[in-house]
Amino acid sequence: MKMWRRLLDGLRQPEHLGVLGLGWVQVVDQDPAGAVDARVLLQIAADSGGSGHDTVRALLGTEPSDWPAICAHPVLAARWLAEQGDLDIAEIVAAFPDTEPALARYGTDGLRNAVELGLDQKAMSLLKNYADGVGHSLADVIAAFQERGYERAEQTAPLGTAGAVAWSRLQLERGKPLDWVLGNVVEHPEKIRRWAVDGPRLAHRVGAAVLGPAAAPATAATLAAAPPLLPLLAALHTPEQRAALLRLYATDPEGTLDPRARRELPLVLASPDPSLALRTLLREGLGVVAQQFADRFRLSPEQRRMLAELSPLTAELAARSLQAVLSVGARFGPRVAVTAAIVEQRLPGAAEAVTVWGPRWLPLLGGRSGARVLRLLVEQREKHGARAGRLTPWLLAAGEDGLALVERYGSDALDLVQATGAPPAEARLLGELLMLPGPGPTLYRLVTEHGLPPETWPRAARLLARGAPPERVLLALWSSTPAR
């Protein structure tokens, strides 16, 4: 009777009733908060290969308090329904917050076994890494874990060390059963630690792991005496690099461990003279690439200092761009050089333009119209770059009108600006005059000094183009003007 009342009073998402069946009415009745979306159930049904009716029945087989978690993880829900036949995934979601990666890594059987054993995501990750390390399947390791009677996630912690994996591999190679090996690791971690520290030929194994089979016998002693070397060695990828690091440490231990050198160490070790590269790095603040650049272009001491200050910004710049940024710094100072380096990273060629046209262009070059502005500056550099000191203030004051004028008329526009001394506010007037024939400067003076109305400009331009002097042009215009 209650279901029929729900149908009559207004069912949530009634359009899906036919696909989901009357069970949907029960779901709506038990879900007043609206946590369950019929579309999610339909997606779960489609992904699991089942029907809407079966999906709703599976949902009703769980606690309503679990429904939000089920609907929030439709991928897990669909696969769980297809492979396990139900939607009891609330415990899985609670134990494995990153459900999709966990599902892909362990599968539904692995997740179910994990929950039954009381294992959470961290514990399963330790078991999986241990299984991979000892060359067994995760199912084998879980079975051994279960056979030993372990039921707590924290009991997997001893499996997470490299020593545990190495000791286990050795014992398995000697024929020991997996459950015995795993039990010793879990129950006697101190045994593993002693083996890792005092095992047979430890010094040889450490040396071989760091430098390869030909490692010197004293390698382990060197590492034991200098623990800060260990993270540096770990960051290097080849035995040759590690051997070079130990040689460098032998000649300059303090410099090798200096934090300023850590990021540059691979390049320092690959340089022809690592000791010299390290000393230069610590003395001047120049990385190896910057040192090579400075040497190749024979930079002065002042330029080398500026290069060191800019090195975080110029690491990705091409040689030509870097030269241009240094030139900007030499002419306009380090602050301008920093801004130029930032703009140059996004707009190559900007720094070279600044060396000619000045730093006042940097805001425009760094803006949305930067590429357009750079193109105009490059086009006008050869003819007008020497007059940048006069033209830059005019163009910046003229704003968009000035840029549009140069964009349309090119160097002719700048020639007219210089010939007339027109103020920036008259940029549009110059554009109109450039559309007419005749000498632009003369026409400009006639217009501005004698107040010629716009309708007379074309005739005046034609007369000037025919060679008429300005006085005759004025007489011709005045004689044709009707008396008032």
- Kindly indicate the confidence band of residue 232, based on its pLDDT and cuts at 50, 70 and 90: confident
Pick left, alpha or beta for residue 10 (phi over 0 → left; psi -120 to 50 → alpha; otherwise beta).
left
Is pLDDT above 60 for 482?
no
Residue 474: pLDDT band by 50, 70, 90 thresholds? confident
Alpha-carbon radius of gyration of the chain: 40
User: The tokens of 140 are what?
Assistant: 């084998």
Confidence (pLDDT) at 439: 92
Averaged over 198-220, what is the pLDDT? 70
DSSP state of 482: P
Provide mean pLDDT across the span 351-369. 90
Measured from the Cβ of residue 338, the count of other Cβ atoms closer than 10 Å reads 18
The backbone torsions φ and ψ at residue 240, rounded to the nearest 5 degrees and listed phi first, read -65, -40
Report pLDDT for 117.
Answer: 79
User: How many CA within 13 A on the CB side of residue 286?
Assistant: 22
Would you call 422 helix, strand, or coil by DSSP?
coil
Q: What is the pLDDT of residues 32-45, one digit of tens each?
A: 888 888 899 899 88
pTM exceeds cut of 0.75: no
- Do the Cβ atoms of 60 and 91 come closer than 8 Å? no
For the cut 50, the answer to whether the pLDDT of residue 484 exceeds it is: no
Q: Helix, strand or coil for residue 256?
A: helix
Tokens 């029907």 found at: 51
Distance CA 455, CA 477 (A): 11
Q: What are 146's two structure tokens?
A: 């279960």
